[in-house]
Each structure stands twice: as structure tokens, then as C-alpha cells.
Amino acid sequence: MSASSSRPSYAAVLRVAHARRTFGAALVGRLCYGVVSVSVILAATRATGSYGVAGTVMALFGVSAVLLMPYRASLVDRYGPRRALTPMALLYAGLLTALAAATWRPGVPAPAIGALAALTGACSPPLGPTMRSMWSELAPEPALLRRAYSLDGVAEELVHVTGPLVVGVLVAFAPPAAGVLLSAVLMAAGTLAFVSSPAVGALRPRPLKSRRPRGRRGGPGRTLRQPVLVAAGVGLSLSVVDLLVVAVAARGHHGDDTVAWVLAALSAGSAAGGLLNGAVDWRAPARVRLPFCAAGLGLTLAAAGLAPGVGTLTVAVACAGVFVAPALTTAYLIADESAPPRFRTRAGAWVNAGVNAGSSLGVAVAGWLLEQLPTGVCFALAGATALATALIPAGWRHPADGTPPPDAEPVTAPVTAPVTAPVDPTAASPTTPPAV
């Protein structure tokens, strides 16, 4: 891998016509996802008085959001962002408002709250995948598109860091359900501003002529195997690490602020890695870079398990974070370049779903692992999961429309990752907060 001399800046991304307005509006709407998860848990706990019920409510909310995400994204591809996102966002905001009303005070039966949470999650708009597909329209030049995706990935990190902080301030003055209500306002306002952007208005829906492009056995789904499964491995590893950090702090008799600092270091490392990844014009194609990102994450997480103290662990986790945003950004780039225009939003949604499915599985197994094994071994297993995804075959091919991906043009000889048995990403089912 090497860098070339042509390096458009991140400022150049934001100078693209309508980019600031479109991206800013999308971030307002996506902040909803940073706020809503914590808010739903707190509100359900206050309304039912049970952590178990609150966890079930959040699981129903998250699972319905993840399971149906590719199908909601397909509506955006088919009808365009304005026709698909507007009713979706208004319905989602309305259901969030109803959920806030149901959890404002105790008294509503838990099954009713759970059913309302599941219905709400099923309607969550795919703002993240839609914004990423919009970058392909706003900044189609390959180097500029990579900067745009890196900027988007860093912004996503900030959304998940900022959201809980907003909730923390809000619940000091209002019931937790107020956070759910704020989420509804953010989604409605952000989405309406997003679809009113001239760039979004100029985007016309692309009619779906057939479900599978002719001459492509299995359609674009086969090309998504690598990015979806790597994204799932990243999501699983990170969700395990979240709980491992809590366990390390508790077993070392450290305060809760220790957990916050270590996880903040993870986010900071991810943001730095994302910015660095976007600042380099890689000559190797994205499908070759992705296994290196996954392997780097796996090795650094395994090394983090050897940390003798919290200070060393913080540094090790920050180093692991450096590979997170590049891995996810590269996975999204591969999804974008592999899919024809009429599948772009759905392709990004599959990667999104992979992250959340991995996170859901990680949450399910992390507690059991901690009860059976030392934390160092758990770190090694989390790292091994990410490392294993580096062995997933790249399966590179031209997109269905016959145009080669931009990253592939400078390559003179094909390079592939080691081969393991293929896995069908459409078989994955999905919580941690849904990725935006």
C-alpha cells in the first residue's frame, strides 16, 4: 500500500455543492439514533421498574430495526429518498412520541410497551445508508469519495459519543422519556431538512427492472459477503470489549469514570484512524485493504488482554480503535462500488445490518464468556473473531453494471485474501444502539 500525491482535503468534501446542507441535515437526523437507545432503556426502566423488562424492550426495538433495515433501504432505492424517507420518518417520529407518552409515567403494561417498541424500530429510516449513497452522487471522484466516507465514519463516531451525553444532561431536568421525545424531534427535523436539499431533490428513483442483474449469478449479494461479514466481526468484537472494560474496572475496583475514559479512548482512536485512512490515496483496492484492517483490529484487541493495568489498557484500546473506522468505512466503500446504482442504499444497509447483528451476538455471549474465562482470554477471543474475518474471501468482481470500481484501476495484478468457506450474508439475523 502506498499513497499518491493527489490528496483532496476534507474541506474539499464540504465545499462540494450542497454537501454541507445535505450532510448537516443527515447528521441531525442520525443524532436521533445516538439519543434514542439510551433513552428507551432509561424510560422503560422508569416505567416498569424492571431492568429485565427494559432489556427486553430494547432488544425488541433493536432487532426489528436491524431485521428490516435492508427492506426499508430498498424502498429508498426504488422510490427515491423524498418519497420513501418522508413518510417513514414521520411515522417513526409519531411512534417515538407514542412510546414517550407510554413511558412518561408508570402504569402502562410492559407487553404494550414492548409491542410499541418493536413497531417503532421496524419503521426507523435508513438515514445512514441513504447519506452514504448520496456521497456517491455528490462526490463521485474516487479520491474525494474516500474522503467523504471517512468523514462520514468519523461523524458517526461522534454521534454515538454525543447522544448519551445529551441524554445525561436532559434527564437531569426531565423524565427519561423526554429523551425519546427529543429523538422524535431530531428525526423529523433532520429528515425533512435532508429531503429538502437540492441534491436529494435532483436524485431520481431508478426503476428496478429485475431482481437479479442478468449474467450475475446471485446478483450483488455475492459481492457483499466480505464487507458484511467483516462489519459483523467488528460489531461483535466491539460489543464484547464494551463489557470487558466494565469487568476490568469492576475487578480492579476502579470507578465508573474509568470505563468512560477507556471507551472514550476507543472512540478517539477510531476517529483518528478514520481521518488518517481518508487522508491517504491507497493504491491497493478496498477489497485488499479490508482484511488488513480486520487483522489489525484483531491483533491489537488480543494484545489489549495482556495489559497489566488500566493505563496500558487505555492505550491498547485506543490503538485497536485506529482500525475500527477504517474497517467500517472500507466495508461501506466496497458495498457502494459493488452495487449498481439502484441497489446502493440497500447494499450499505446490509453492511449496517452486519454491524448491528454482530453487536447483538456480542452482547449475548460476552456475559457468558466473562463468567467462564479470565478477561485476558476474553480479549483474545474478541480479537480472534475480528482476525478470522480477515480470512473471508474477497470475491472481487465488477459491479453488475459492468463498470470497474474506481479503487481497482491502478492495480496491475489481482490480490485476494486467503480463502475460507463462504457464508451467505442474507442468512444473518440480528442490542447495542443501531448503527446510523
Give which of 18, 401, 33, 74 is closest to 186, Cα–Cα: 33
Rounded Cα gap, residues 232 and 228, in angstroms = 6
Residue 125 clears pLDDT 70, i.e. is over it: yes
Rounded Cα gap, residues 45 and 372, in angstroms = 28
Output the pLDDT for position 263.
Answer: 79
Rounded Cα gap, residues 415 and 420, in angstroms = 15
Output the pLDDT for position 423.
Answer: 34
Give percent above pLDDT 70 in the chain.
82
Output the pLDDT for position 424.
Answer: 35
Give the three cell numbers for residue 225.
Answer: 459477503
Task: Please give the domain boundaries of the chain with CATH numbers for all domains.
Answer: 16-141+158-206 (1.20.1250.20), 218-436 (1.20.1250.20)
Give which of 195, 191, 190 is closest to 81, Cα–Cα: 195
- The more confident residue out of 348 and 119 is 119
The whole-angstrom distance between residue 326's C-alpha and the CA centroid of its chain comes to: 12
The dihedral through the CA atoms of 250, 252, 258, 264 has a sign that is negative
| Helical pair 110-122 and 81-103, crossing angle rounded to 10 deg | 170
Query: In this predicted model, what pLDDT tens digit does every residue of 51-99 receive, in sequence order?
Result: 778 878 887 888 888 888 888 988 998 888 999 999 999 999 999 999 9
Output the pLDDT for position 407.
Answer: 40
Q: Are 7 and 279 spatial neighbours (Cβ–Cβ below 8 Å)?
A: yes
- The more confident residue out of 57 and 185 is 185
- The more confident residue out of 185 and 142 is 185
Give which of 327, 388, 363 is closest to 236, Cα–Cα: 363
Q: In 10 A of CB 231, how many CB atoms?
A: 32
Burial string for 394-419 (b: 16+ CB within 10 Å, else e) reads bbbeebbeeeebbbbeeeeeeeebee
Residue 3 clears pLDDT 60, i.e. is over it: no
Q: Distance of CA 23 to CAs 11, 18, 337, Å?
A: 13, 8, 20
- The 3 state secondary structure assigned to the chain is CCECCCCCCHHHHHCCCCHHHHHHHHHHHHHHHHHHHHHHHHHHHHHHCCHHHHHHHHHHHHHHHHHCHHHHHHHHHHHCHHHHHHHHHHHHHHHHHHHHHHHCCCCCCHHHHHHHHHHHHHCCCCHHHHHHHHHHHHCCCHHHHHHHHHHHHHHHHHHHHHHHHHHHHHCCCCCCHHHHHHHHHHHHHHHHHHHCCHHHHCCCCCCCCCCCCCCCCCHHHHHHHHHHHHHHHHHHHHHHHHHHHHHHHHHCCCCHHHHHHHHHHHHHHHHHHHHHHHHCCECCCHHHHHHHHHHHHHHHHHHHCCCCCHHHHHHHHHHHHCCHHHHHHHHHHHHHHHCCHHHHHHHHHHHHHHHHHHHHHHHHHHHHHHHHCCHHHHHHHHHHHHHHHCCCCCCCCCCCCCCCCHHHCCCCCCCCCCCCCCCCHHHCCCCCCCCC
Q: In 10 A of CB 2, how many CB atoms?
A: 9
Query: In this predicted model, what pLDDT tens digit does every residue of 7-24 receive, in sequence order?
Result: 667 888 888 989 999 999
Rounded Cα gap, residues 237 and 301, in angstroms = 8
Contact residues for 172 (Cβ-Cβ < 8 A; gap 6+): none
Q: In 10 A of CB 370, how many CB atoms?
A: 19
Rounded Cα gap, residues 73 and 79, in angstroms = 10
Query: In this predicted model, what pLDDT tens digit does every residue of 205-261 receive, in sequence order?
Result: 655 554 444 434 444 556 788 899 999 999 899 888 877 887 787 776 676 567 768
